[in-house]
Amino acid sequence: MLMTISSAPTSQSSVNPLKALAHLSWPWRVTFIYLFFMLLVPLTALVLRASTVGPAEFWRIATDRVAMSTYEVTFVTALIAALINGVLGTLTAWVLVRYRFPFKTVIEGILDLPFALPTAVAGLTLATVYSTNGWIGSLLAPMGIRISFTRLGVGVAMLFISLPFVVRTVQPVLQEIEKEVEEAAWSLGASRFQTFWKVLLPQLMTAILTGVALGFSRAVGEYGSIVIIASSIPFRDLIAAVLVIQRLEQYDYAGATVIGTVLLLISLVSLIAINLLQAWGRRYEA
C-alpha cells in the first residue's frame, strides 16, 4: 500500500508533454500547430533578431527622438480615433438597428468597405477628398484647417479604417436586446437618457470595449492609407509603421526590428489593458 501511494506522484510528474499533446483531439492539435507557425514563430524571430544588437544599442534605437515621436503619433492618435468611433460607432449601430429608412441596405454595404477596400486606395481617396482643393478640404481651407498631409489626416485615416469594427461588434448585441426592456423602463418613469445609461449601456459595455480594442489595434497597424494622406515628416505626422519601412529602405534591418519589437510590446500592453477593461465591463454588466 505504501509503495502504491509513493509511486503515484512519480508517475504523474514523469508525464511527457509530447505524449500528452498526442492524446489531444485533432482540432486542438491543428489549432496549436497553426498558431505556432503563424504567430509564435514570426514574433519570436522578430524579438530574437532585435536582441542581437545588445541592450545598450537596443535602448538607443528604441528611445531615439524620431522613434519616440512616432510612438506618440501612432498610439495617441489611434487611441483618440478608437474612442471617437466608440461613441459614433455605437450611435451608427443604434440607427441601423432601431430605425428603418431608405437605402439602409446600401449604407450597410458601404459601411463594410474599409474591410474590403485596399488601404492604398483608401488613402488615395481620403487624400483627394480632404486635400486643399478637394470636396471637403476646399471648404475647410479658408478656415485655416488642413487635413491632408497633416496629423489630422492620420486621424481621419484611422477613423475611416476602424469604424466598422465598432459598428459590427455592437450591432449584434443591440439586435438581441428586446425593446420591451426599454418600454418597461419608460413605464416606470425613466427618461430616454436614464434608460440608455442604466439599462442599455451596461449590456452594451463589453461589446463597445471590444469594438474599441479592435479598432485601436487596426489603427495602430495601419500603413497603406496613412502613408498616402500623411506627409511622413518626423515630429509632425510620421507614424511608427512608416519609420520601420524607412529603416528597411536604408538597409537598417537592426533598427527596423527594434522599432517593430517596441511596437509589439506597446501593442501587447495596450491590448492587455483593454482586456482588463473588458473584464471590468462584464462585471459591470453582471
Domain boundaries, the chain: 52-285
DSSP single-letter state for residue 143: G
The superfamily (CATH) of domain 52-285 is: MetI-like (1.10.3720.10)
Q: What is the pLDDT of residue 17?
A: 54
The C-alpha angle with vertex 63 and arms to 59 and 67, in degrees rounded to 5, equals: 130
pLDDT of residue 170: 93
Instruction: Kindly give the confidence (pLDDT) of every residue in the chain, 286 residues in length, as a single tens digit, with 9 standing for 90 and above.
Output: 344 444 444 444 455 555 655 666 778 888 888 888 888 898 888 888 888 888 899 999 999 999 999 999 999 999 999 999 999 999 999 999 988 888 888 988 889 888 888 888 999 999 989 988 888 988 998 898 999 999 999 999 999 999 999 999 999 998 888 777 777 877 778 787 788 888 888 888 888 988 998 899 899 988 989 999 998 999 999 999 999 999 999 999 989 999 999 988 888 887 787 778 767 766 655 5
User: Residue 50 carries which side chain, given as an amino acid letter?
Assistant: A
pLDDT of residue 284: 57
pTM value?
0.82
271 class by beta-carbon count within 10 Å (0-12 exposed, 13-18 middle, 19+ buried): middle
How far apart are alpha carbons 150 and 239 in whole angstroms?
11
Supply the DSSP symbol for 52.
Answer: T
C-alpha cell at 183: 418600454
Residue whose C-alpha cell reads 509530447 in the numeric block: 18
CA 36, chain centre distance (Å): 22
CA 236 to chain centre: 22
Strand, helix or coil at 230? coil
In angstroms, the Cα distances linking 6 to 2, 13, 15, 281 are 6, 12, 16, 47
**Is the separation of the CB atoms in 123 and 225 below 8 Å?**
yes
- Residue 10 has a pLDDT of 44
Provide the sign of the torsion angle of the four alpha carbons 228, 230, 233, 238, taken in this order.
negative
Q: Spell out the alpha helix ranges (H) of the chain.
A: 2-13, 17-22, 26-35, 41-51, 55-62, 65-71, 77-98, 104-111, 113-116, 119-130, 137-140, 151-176, 179-187, 192-195, 201-220, 224-229, 240-249, 253-285
CB of 122 within 8 A of CB of 259?
no
* Closest listed residue to residue 66, CA positions, set 247, 251, 269, 250: 247
